[in-house]
Structure 1
């Protein structure tokens, strides 16, 4: 039963143009961010490991659209009214929620993989041409790219949960992005010491940002995964108790 539900959710996603546009967009954002750093290179430090790590961190920038994808997976059905048919076909809402979260996890991982591959494919030859080739035998290269995949995956799952809470794609997208990029910034500016414990701080740690004061990468992974799990469980409990309309 769960396999059929999961396949149905994936079928819905892959049948709409917006999914493919957003997946491509994650790669484009990551590539543009990396290109901007290489072209600008304001500190002239791309010959150092820290400079190269900063470029590879660009792979995580695709998370911006990964969370949008997640919101659309769940809120889109409420917006178009198809959630009623979904629940009539599968009255056990918990299973529907698990299938949607599973679809979000897979699509988020694909978005992260697309971002990571694009960043590596663009930066490796470009840096090599400058005489600053990536040391592909160094662990930080692959850990940074892996962190981007985890980051995008977690954000997509969080997006699914946010979409369940809001039931409105616009509200869900604006709310999620406002929290991550506006509200957290205000909180951090007032209480700098707690920034590392917030979702964005954890995400930056997962992405192997060279910024000081962050958790270690493994700590960021645990923290971000924990946020995704808690928000997902809260969304699942909410959808079990709310009316569809």
Structure 2
């Protein structure tokens, strides 16, 4: 397994894509931290709360500022997960990969371990940018940058978030063999379809209360204990550990189905 894992890391870090994405994640995290730092520290009024302004405790505000770049971060790791397998099919290198490591399950296990590591690495890069920029903004606005030790838990969970989204991308990349189609569909669902579906569920009481909170983006926000939308339409988030199990279930199911398909399908 060790050589297979090293091979997967080598495939990723010998391309120029990794440092380009690293720069993008760092800049996005810092910019979002500054933006959310100013927005979330505006004193709320009853009218703004009723209109849906996000509200939260100092701990939730700090968590949201430091993890505000996760939306961009998990989209990029989703892309990485898709490309980690999709590029092999596209460039016909999957055959040589399986020839060098005949046990396909071992290859897929190596990809899963590598993607968790890559996601954690990008999480660290994201946190460096967001914590530096966010702490400066919070301090300047009169807020404690680290109101509780639970902030550290949210930061640690954000590393897990990016790794799990990379595994979701791996599953999508296998289930949709065409790499371009997989990228478009995955990004479209994550950034357009799911938010629209969440909005639609607000008009259905059962879906609003019992379905919306289990959607991947809602589970992601609940994991890091971010602020919640104010007003009557607020969705009560899951506890952080339940949200972690929900997101892990998405990743496990998709990566398991993808692994099963890869192990059993013919490769030409």
Would you say same fold, with TM above 0.5?
Answer: yes
Which whole-Å deviations, capped at 9, do the CAs of 1:157-201 have from their partners, x for residues lacking one? 111121122233322222222222222233321332301112222
Q: Confirm or deny that 1:150 pairs with 2:166.
A: no
Structure 1, unaligned runs of 5 or more = none
Whole-angstrom CA distance in 1 between matches of 2:83 and 2:128: 24
What is the match of residue 242 of structure 2?
Answer: 219
Distance 1:207 1:172, change over 3 A: farther
Q: How many residues align?
A: 243
Indicate conservation of the 8 Å contact 1:150/1:206, yes or no.
Answer: no
Query: Is the 2:165–2:251 Cα contact (8 Å) retained in structure 1?
Result: yes
Residue in 2 that maps onto 1:207: 224
Q: Which residue of 1 aligns with 2:143?
A: 132
Q: Is the 8 A contact 1:60 1:149 kept in 2?
A: no
Distance 1:42 1:131 in 2: 9
Structure 2 residue 246 is the aligned partner of structure 1 residue 230: no
User: Which structure 2 residues correspond to residues 54-203 of structure 1 after superposition, within 5 A?
Assistant: 54-61=64-71, 62-135=73-146, 138-188=148-198, 189-190=200-201, 191-193=207-209, 194-203=211-220
- Distance of 1:115 and 1:223 partners within structure 2: 23
Structure 1 residues 209-245: Cα deviation after superposition (integer angstroms, max 9, x where no partner): 2224110111101111121111111111011222224
Secondary structure at 1:162's aligned position in 2? helix
Matches of 1:207 and 1:75, distance apart in 2: 30
Structure 1 stretch 12-21 or stretch 191-200: which is displaced more? Answer: 191-200
Q: 1:48 to 1:105 in 2, by over 3 A?
A: closer
Kept after mapping to 2: 8 A contact 1:9/1:103: yes
Q: What TM-score do you get using the length of structure 1 for normalisation?
A: 0.90
Distance in structure 1 (CA, Å) of the matches to 2:5 and 2:252? 18
8 Å Cα contact 2:174-2:258 kept in structure 1: yes
Deviations 1:15-38 (A, max 9, x none): 000122113322222211111123
Which stretch of the first structure deviates more once superposed, 82-91 or 3-12?
82-91
SS in 2 for 1:84: helix
| Structure with more relative contact order (C-alpha pairs < 8 Å, separation 6 or more) | 2
Q: Which has the higher helix share?
A: 1
Task: Give the aligned CA root-mean-square deviation in angstroms.
Answer: 2.1
Is contact 2:67–2:127 with CA below 8 Å preserved after alignment? no
